[in-house]
Structure 1
Amino acid sequence: MAGDDPTSGVDHDAVDLDTPLTIGEVTLPNRLYRAPLLECAGTGAGAVDALIEDLEPAAASGAGLLCQGATIVRPEGGCAAPQMTRVCDPAFVSRLSRLTDVVHDHGARIAIQLEHGGLRAMETWHAEYREANPDLRQLAVSRPPRLLRLLDRVGFLDYDAHVLSTDEVYELAVDFGRSAGYAVDAGYDVLHLAGANMGIVHQFLSPFYNRRDDEFGDGVRFLEVVHDEIRSRAGDVPIMTKVPAETEAPPIVRRRLTTDDAVTICRRLAEIGYDALVPVNGSTFWDASIVKGAYPERAWADDRFQSGYRAAFGSRWRAKLVALGNWIEAQAYSFDPAWNADLCRRVRDVVDVPVLCEGGIRERGEMDDLLGDAADAVGMARPFYAEPRLPARLLDDSAAGTRAVCESCNNCAVPQATGEAGVCRTPGVLAEAGRLRKAGAYDRETGSQDEEVSDGRGERGTGRGASDDDRQDP
């Protein structure tokens, strides 16, 4: 039925994590994937090494697919956080072939996620960045919604949005296609659009943001044009995208994407030619609904990040106000295991392409239950910050009761607003990962290269070229 993979001859009633999966014309060795994470690698001399350091352990330990975190398709603006990687320069992207070669050497496949932040970009919320780039305007699908304009008037955000004309929307789609072509030339196996978390693609899809009166008033039309641009420049390489349902938006937001809307969008995208879909629940805002879990008290209190918080949010009191908002959101968006499963199940019932499920998945048994029911592949993101070689544990023959050590405390995420790398900073979690490492839980014999891949983060936060010369401003 829907979600089946006829090209692989797989009976979905019998699949498990080790069963191969075909997406488009690419076959993954298994159904476990590393979901996109913010690598904070930049685009400088050390970027490729930083990305290899982040991604190779997952490949070496058995993940079937690695999704590199969101990369920006234009040379200016559009970054949602500091030190995001840009993929608009063919000379730089060609150097990423070192990364794809390493991943392929371990038998894994790699996807690159393409994005532009639109109204979510740093030119909206990062005070120091705005001051350094006073002429840089946000790209907008439509005039910013009234609620966001109110936050602008009270000085919490800073909007000077440029609403894209019809011709400019086509030009943006060309940028996605052009970057996709560069990525395929560099050896990427799958192209992944960042269709959620309030990026520009999400803004096209969302009635909260999109009030256009041209053809792109139907946000799926933008994804159709992007699809065609990618096909014209990258050929038949598989294309997948996240698709949002804005189920977590506050009650005051009346115009939003419902679950039914998200299911309909997924059905239309499958008909257009998207090769896989990643349905996710979230909000109309970039808030804690993206990373449900505990309030990251340790990260907000850490003295090492206070100057970075002040630079990002404009002052000490503004940083405290953001922290308060984070605390309130943590109460509303507490951790919910496999929180996208029901949405994925509904999508899988109406499409004939693979459906990938991520968000709050932590246990091997949970994964086995989801496969063949709600999803064709299962992914995790934050747990890789604590356990870069987590697949070795999950794919072990005796892994039935295996659970990631991640506590969803979010201490890894908040410092990324300052440009810090994503690493686990919770002592108890790190201690447990260390114990497992000493016990050999991450050992996996897949070739000589595995022995040289670092198991843990250790001093990685300072060892990955704390040299700012290796980075490029967002």
Structure 2
Amino acid sequence: MKNTYKPLFEPFTFASGVTVDNRIVMAPMTTQSSFENGMVTTDEHNYYKRRVEGVGFVLTSCAQVQENGKFPGSLSAASDNQIESLTKLANTIKSKGTKAVLQIFHVGRMGTSASVGEQPVSASAVAAARDDAETPRELTNAEVHEMVKSFGEATRRAIQAGFDGVEIHGANTYLIQQFFSPHSNRRSDEWGGTLEKRMAFPLAVVNEVKKTISQYATKPFMWGYRVSPEELEEPGITLADTMQLLNKLKDKGLDYLHISVGHFEQTSMRDKSSETPVLKLIQDDIGNDIPIIGVGMVKTPDDAVKALNMGLPLIALGRELLVEPDWIKKVKNGEEDTIRTEIRLEDREDLAFPDSMWEYVQSRPGWLPFATK
């Protein structure tokens, strides 16, 4: 291994007491391949098994906390019936010594009647800003309280299934973000209106998950929160909004905050005059108080080191581990020159993509680098 890359392979211990072997995290990526009832398929086990070796910890694709919060092929943590299936997934991920973290979410207004079997729900009856978006039904106050409890119950199931942690998915336009966003949250009760009230649901979920971990975990159990720092919609989440939320989250005892941006050096989408990467702004503001995971187009080991040099202690790889499952092993063995940078059709078997995932990535030109010859 080159000396330059040694910082990537230093262990890291979280506040919960969980220690990971290195600074590389497998980002949560949707496989769209679970059974209709949300249980894990053999294809998914093979997909994870192909990628887990050497990773500090693996974030699974998102698992819904209620069955009306799914999308086609998503995992479920919505019922005790799923615990056995989740246990098998945790065991698959941990089979190579890697920590397993279950990401928990609710799709909210990003779902469809066809996928959830009923009208989608959200903070308010406001459709997403896309042409085919359905108008969701506004959750009642009682349903909001029940939703909070559902995140706690999903956490309990993750603990009982043997996962090493959970990540609360407050990003990528799903339900928790919908409550935080002034675009999707037009409520005038305790859950919306002012910025303070728009933070109420995310913070209630965090408090419920924290309480559940305290009640059920018998060994160190890590927990994090994922956030998208800005929205382009008007009105939409601003970086100033997010900084206020993050400053509240950092005092909740979380192990980390996972910042979802398109590129690790991306500057503000809303403030075009800003020349400082969003991740750097966040790291400088709260990084001394809570570990920050950076993600976004970290392709090469030099990119990863560059991200670490911004002060970030942990780096998530997503598409890079889809294209090259042996990315970490090759860097560790000094074979970074052999890292696969594009996919050929004959690579399919080696990459162990589930059928639905293979179809998905092929249908979106440019999302993954496919060889043209």
Higher CA-based Rg: 1
Q: Which of 202, 208, 216 in structure 2 is aligned with 1:229?
A: 208
Per the alignment, do residues 349 and 46 of structure 1 end up closer, same or farther by CA in structure 2, a change over 3 Å counting? closer
Matched, 1:38 2:30: yes
Q: How far is 1:15 from its partner?
A: 7.4
Separation in structure 2 between the aligned mates of residue 176 and residue 39 of structure 1, nearest angstrom: 21
Separation in structure 2 between the aligned mates of residue 194 and residue 402 of structure 1, nearest angstrom: 34
Corresponding residue SS for 1:349: helix
Q: How far is 1:355 from its partner?
A: 0.3
Per the alignment, do residues 260 and 403 of structure 1 end up closer, same or farther by CA in structure 2, a change over 3 Å counting? farther
Q: How far is 1:180 from its partner?
A: 0.9
Per the alignment, do residues 15 and 272 of structure 1 end up closer, same or farther by CA in structure 2, a change over 3 Å counting? farther
Corresponding residue SS for 1:93: helix
Q: How far is 1:197 from its partner?
A: 1.3
Corresponding residue SS for 2:89: helix
Corresponding residue SS for 1:242: strand
Structure 1 equivalent of residue 47 of structure 2: 54
Structure 2 equivalent of residue 158 of structure 1: 134
Per the alignment, do residues 99 and 265 of structure 1 end up closer, same or farther by CA in structure 2, a change over 3 Å counting? same
Separation in structure 2 between the aligned mates of residue 34 and residue 144 of structure 1, nearest angstrom: 33
CA contact (8 A) 2:183 2:236 kept: yes
Structure 1 equivalent of residue 146 of structure 2: 171
Per the alignment, do residues 204 and 406 of structure 1 end up closer, same or farther by CA in structure 2, a change over 3 Å counting? farther
CA contact (8 A) 1:121 1:138 kept: yes
Counting only pairs closer than 5 Å after superposition, residues 440-455 of structure 1 correspond to structure 2 as: none
Structure 2 equivalent of residue 261 of structure 1: 241
Structure 1 equivalent of residue 319 of structure 2: 382
Q: Which of 161, 173, 192 in structure 2 is aligned with 1:198?
A: 173
Matched, 1:120 2:110: yes
Once the two structures are superposed, residues 369-388 of structure 1 have per-residue CA deviations (whole angstroms, 9 ceiling, x without a partner) of: 21152411111212222223
Q: How far is 1:109 from its partner?
A: 0.6
Structure 2 equivalent of residue 396 of structure 1: 333
- In the superposition, the TM-score normalised over structure 1's length comes to 0.64
Q: Which runs of 5+ in 1 are unaligned?
A: 1-13, 124-128, 282-291, 293-335, 413-418, 433-474
Q: How far is 1:195 from its partner?
A: 1.2
Count of matched residue positions in the alignment of Structure 1 and Structure 2? 333
Per the alignment, do residues 348 and 117 of structure 1 end up closer, same or farther by CA in structure 2, a change over 3 Å counting? same
Corresponding residue SS for 2:61: strand
What percent of counterpart residues are identical? 20
CA contact (8 A) 1:195 1:242 kept: yes
Counting only pairs closer than 5 Å after superposition, residues 33-432 of structure 1 correspond to structure 2 as: 33-43=25-35, 47-60=40-53, 62-75=54-67, 77-80=68-71, 82-123=72-113, 129=114, 133=117, 136-144=118-126, 151=131, 156-159=132-135, 161-217=136-192, 218-235=197-214, 237-247=221-231, 249=232, 253-281=233-261, 338-339=265-266, 342-351=277-286, 352-397=289-334, 399=336, 405-406=341-342, 420-422=356-358, 425=362
Once the two structures are superposed, residues 376-423 of structure 1 have per-residue CA deviations (whole angstroms, 9 ceiling, x without a partner) of: 111121222222332212333454x6765158xxxx9xxxxxx82247
Q: How far is 1:66 from its partner?
A: 0.7
Q: How far is 1:38 from its partner?
A: 0.7
Separation in structure 1 between the aligned mates of residue 166 and residue 92 of structure 2, nearest angstrom: 18
Per the alignment, do residues 372 and 94 of structure 1 end up closer, same or farther by CA in structure 2, a change over 3 Å counting? farther
CA contact (8 A) 2:264 2:307 kept: no
Once the two structures are superposed, residues 306-352 of structure 1 have per-residue CA deviations (whole angstroms, 9 ceiling, x without a partner) of: xxxxxxxxxxxxxxxxxxxxxxxxxxxxxx56437922222222321
Separation in structure 1 between the aligned mates of residue 291 and residue 283 of structure 2, nearest angstrom: 8
Separation in structure 1 between the aligned mates of residue 212 and residue 38 of structure 2, nearest angstrom: 27
Letter of the structure 2 residue corresponding to residue 158 of structure 1:
E
RMSD: 3.0
- In the superposition, the TM-score normalised over structure 2's length comes to 0.80
CA contact (8 A) 1:204 1:210 kept: yes
Once the two structures are superposed, residues 264-307 of structure 1 have per-residue CA deviations (whole angstroms, 9 ceiling, x without a partner) of: 221211112222111224xxxxxxxxxx6xxxxxxxxxxxxxxx
Q: How far is 1:90 from its partner?
A: 1.6
Per the alignment, do residues 15 and 241 of structure 1 end up closer, same or farther by CA in structure 2, a change over 3 Å counting? farther
Corresponding residue SS for 2:191: helix
Q: How far is 1:231 from its partner?
A: 2.4
Q: How far is 1:233 from its partner?
A: 2.4
Structure 2 equivalent of residue 18 of structure 1: 9
CA contact (8 A) 1:364 1:402 kept: no
Per the alignment, do residues 200 and 229 of structure 1 end up closer, same or farther by CA in structure 2, a change over 3 Å counting? same
Q: How far is 1:67 from its partner?
A: 0.7
Separation in structure 1 between the aligned mates of residue 57 and residue 20 of structure 2, nearest angstrom: 7
Per the alignment, do residues 90 and 389 of structure 1 end up closer, same or farther by CA in structure 2, a change over 3 Å counting? farther
Letter of the structure 2 residue corresponding to residue 143 of structure 1:
A
Q: How far is 1:111 from its partner?
A: 0.9
